[in-house]
Amino acid sequence: FSLQAIQDNFVPHKKEDFIYTYGTAGFRSIADVLDSVMYKVGILATLRSKKLGGATIGVMITASHNPEQDNGVKLVDPRGEMLEQSWEAYATKLANSKTPETLAQATEEIIASQKINVDQPANVIYGFDTRPSCPELVKNLESGLQASGAETKNYGLLTTPMLHYLVRCLNTAGTSDAYGEPTAEGYYHKLAEAYKTAVKGFTRLSTLHVDCANGVGAPKLREFLTHLSEDVISVDISNDQITTQGALNKNCGADYVKTNQRAPPNVKIQPGDRFCSFDGDADRIVYYYLGSDQTFRLLDGDKIAGLAAMFIMDLVNDAGIDSLKVGVVQTAYANGSSTNYLEKVLKIPVSCVSTGVKHLHHEAEKYDVGVYFEANGHGTVLFSPSALNTIKTTEAKTPAQNRALQQLAALTELINQTVGDAISDMLLVETILTNRQWSPEEWDQAYTDLPNRLAKVVVADRSVFTTTNAERQLVSPAGLQAEIDAIVAKYSQGRSFVRASGTEDAVRVYAEAATRAETDELTYKVAQAVY
């Protein structure tokens, strides 16, 4: 490890005045300004690995659902989780170092404050999505890794959740909680075997139509499907144009569908069929279908959480292990009807946390079985070590109990324990629908979403919008929350909140109410109050 090498290979900033922030989505921006950031991320990944005694750290290059000209980068901690929050400030500090000297200084500061022994080994793996800017950004990342002396492995084109899986596998290999074979093949095999077990004995459903957002999910889902025969699952893939310039996330994908509350224009949605959309890096998924009245119906992250929670509660009861505490974690963006369904109908505890997967993930770890989903379709289910142990060691007294325990065991393998995963979540939904022999309409019957609206207001300085109570109330600007409360009080089943986006330079306004007209009016009034 040599600070000299870090200085000698310095990659300069392309735009002098650009300020970088490591936020909920890592670094994310227009790809053109990211060369220098990639170099620094290489150094940071090395430091993080050295700090953790040479544990493998992951680096994923992607900008998820953002347009093709954007890109981004995120670090993955040893258990496949997001980078520990306290390190985000280091990332930001390194990224904004504009000269070799200031970078060396910032590096030294991290080493000193974290008491890092630089003689420790460093291991870093990385992967990237289909964006045209990836190859160049990978080169800059590699320079940073090399300059700081890490052992590296390039896993190539990957979905984000596959990289998280690989990191966890590498760090648990040979231990009692070994997570799986650290290869793409190992990932496919694990999911495919679990799915076969989970749907065994049930009639296969009709074909599922999957929109892959013209992203990395398309080739990866195809590879995965070679591990399952047509009589186990039938999938029709669309929007798989990963080499067509400008196609990524364009008028398709999970974010398009959730935001516009409509199917991608090029997806021919037929009554009776089942559809889902991945986002650009395949860590989000939403389902949808055409109702018998020909209207578009969205089954978003909230609906998936409700379905999963319902199924898991039933299995836990049938398995006779209802001492396990099952809970659901949502954000303020969850539809009020979904929260009501979980709390009043399923009688499951629900926690509300701030936006951002790391908050949901950590809260979900507090339950034995923690289901977490953002309304936009990012989520998963976490099983605690004691839940895994209970599922594994409980002795069944009846065939029904035995079957429930086996199903739960299959779910623990099927569901990605590191992060939201479109392929894994798709298999979870398909498992439940197959077990129940349900159509999407039947799934949708659990509750009816309140009409809702998400608006964006561009303000001079979004940092003045600070919140409390899991972002549901504003602390500043002074007086604004009282104004919003007064507006909301006029609408039946009205709810609205305002917060600064962590990923865009804007303030978001969310509103829901009993009717579409009331919702639109409420959104408008609150947005006006913000402006």
The piece of 7-15, 139-147, 274-282, 322-330 that touches Zn ion (CB under 5 A) is 274-282
**Binds ligand NG1 (CB under 6 A): choice among 230, 343, 504, 505:** 504
Q: Please give the structure tokens belonging to residue 300.
A: 């978003």
Is residue 503 near ligand NG1 by the rule CB under 6 A?
yes
- Three state DSSP letters for 252-282: CHHHHHHHHCCCCCCCCCCCCCEEEEECCCC
**Binds ligand NG1 (CB under 6 A): choice among 508, 511, 512, 513:** 508
Is 64 one of the catalytic residues?
Answer: yes
> What is the side-by-side order of every strand in the sheet holding 274-278?
235-238, 208-211, 274-278, 285-290, 296-299
Of 36, 49, 64, 354, catalytic? 64
**Residues numbered 25-64 forming contacts with ligand NG1, rule: CB under 6 A:** 25, 64
Cβ-proximal residue to Zn ion, closest one: 64
**Residues numbered 266-295 forming contacts with ligand NG1, rule: CB under 6 A:** none
The piece of 57-65, 174-182, 190-198, 476-484 that touches Zn ion (CB under 5 A) is 57-65
User: Helix (H, G, I), strand (E, B), or coil: what is residue 464?
Assistant: helix
The piece of 5-13, 75-83, 171-179, 502-510 that touches ligand NG1 (CB under 6 A) is 502-510
Q: How far apart are CA 208 and CA 235, in angstroms?
A: 5
* Alpha-helical runs (H) found in 419-515: 422-436, 440-444, 480-488
**Binds ligand NG1 (CB under 6 A): choice among 29, 107, 160, 376:** 376
Query: Minimum distance from CB of 25 to ligand NG1 (Å)?
Result: 4
Is residue 421 near ligand NG1 by the rule CB under 6 A?
no
Is residue 518 near Zn ion by the rule CB under 5 A?
no
The piece of 63-71, 142-150, 203-211, 267-275 that touches Zn ion (CB under 5 A) is 63-71
Residue type, 327: G
Is residue 56 near Zn ion by the rule CB under 5 A?
no
- b/e per residue 187-215 (b: at least 16 CB within 10 A): bbebbbebbbbbbeeeeebeebbbbbbbb
Q: Please give the structure tokens belonging to residue 446.
A: 């659990």
Is residue 501 near ligand NG1 by the rule CB under 6 A?
yes
Is residue 465 near ligand NG1 by the rule CB under 6 A?
no
Among ligand NG1, Zn ion, none, the one that 297 touches (CB under a kind-dependent 5 to 8 A) is: none
Task: Decide the pairing of beta strands 326-331 and 350-353.
Answer: parallel
Query: Minimum distance from CB of 258 to ligand NG1 (Å)?
Result: 8
Q: How many chain residues bind ligand NG1 (CB under 6 A)?
A: 13
Nearest to 357 by CA among 29, 71, 77, 137: 77
- b/e per residue 250-260 (b: at least 16 CB within 10 A): bebbbbbbbee
Among Zn ion, ligand NG1, none, the one that 273 touches (CB under a kind-dependent 5 to 8 A) is: none
Is residue 355 near ligand NG1 by the rule CB under 6 A?
yes
Is residue 502 near ligand NG1 by the rule CB under 6 A?
yes
Query: Minimum distance from CB of 500 to ligand NG1 (Å)?
Result: 8
Among Zn ion, ligand NG1, none, the one that 504 touches (CB under a kind-dependent 5 to 8 A) is: ligand NG1
Is residue 333 near ligand NG1 by the rule CB under 6 A?
yes
The residue among 281 and 444 lying less far from ligand NG1, judged by its C-beta, is 281
Among ligand NG1, Zn ion, none, the one that 88 touches (CB under a kind-dependent 5 to 8 A) is: none
Among Zn ion, ligand NG1, none, the one that 281 touches (CB under a kind-dependent 5 to 8 A) is: Zn ion
**Binds ligand NG1 (CB under 6 A): choice among 24, 69, 406, 439:** 24
Among Zn ion, ligand NG1, none, the one that 503 touches (CB under a kind-dependent 5 to 8 A) is: ligand NG1
**Residues numbered 104-163 forming contacts with ligand NG1, rule: CB under 6 A:** none
Query: Minimum distance from CB of 45 to Zn ion (Å)?
Result: 20
- Given a contact cutoff of 8 angstroms between Cβ atoms, the answer to whether 193 and 202 are in contact is no
- Given a contact cutoff of 8 angstroms between Cβ atoms, the answer to whether 286 and 260 are in contact is no
Among ligand NG1, Zn ion, none, the one that 56 touches (CB under a kind-dependent 5 to 8 A) is: none
Nearest to 345 by CA among 335, 353, 337, 333: 337
Enumerate helices (H) and strands (E) in the chain, giving the number of each.
Answer: 18, 19
- Given a contact cutoff of 8 angstroms between Cβ atoms, the answer to whether 183 and 190 are in contact is no
Q: How far apart are CA 11 and CA 284, in angstroms?
A: 33
Task: Decide the pairing of beta strands 123-128 and 151-157.
Answer: parallel
Query: Minimum distance from CB of 502 to ligand NG1 (Å)?
Result: 3
Please provide residue 519's backbone torsions phi and psi, each rounded to the nearest 5 degrees: -60, -45
* Alpha-helical runs (H) found in 319-398: 336-340, 357-364, 385-393
- Taking CA atoms, 429 is separated from 208, 279, 401, in Å, by 11, 17, 22
403: enclosing H helix or E strand: helix 399-414
Among ligand NG1, Zn ion, none, the one that 283 touches (CB under a kind-dependent 5 to 8 A) is: Zn ion
- Given a contact cutoff of 8 angstroms between Cβ atoms, the answer to whether 94 and 107 are in contact is yes
Q: Please give the structure tokens belonging to residue 522.
A: 């409420």
The piece of 173-181, 275-283, 354-362, 510-518 that touches Zn ion (CB under 5 A) is 275-283
Annotated catalytic residues are 64
Q: Which residues bind Zn ion (CB under 5 A)?
A: 64, 279, 281, 283
Q: Which residues bind ligand NG1 (CB under 6 A)?
A: 24-25, 64, 333, 355, 374, 376, 378, 501-504, 508
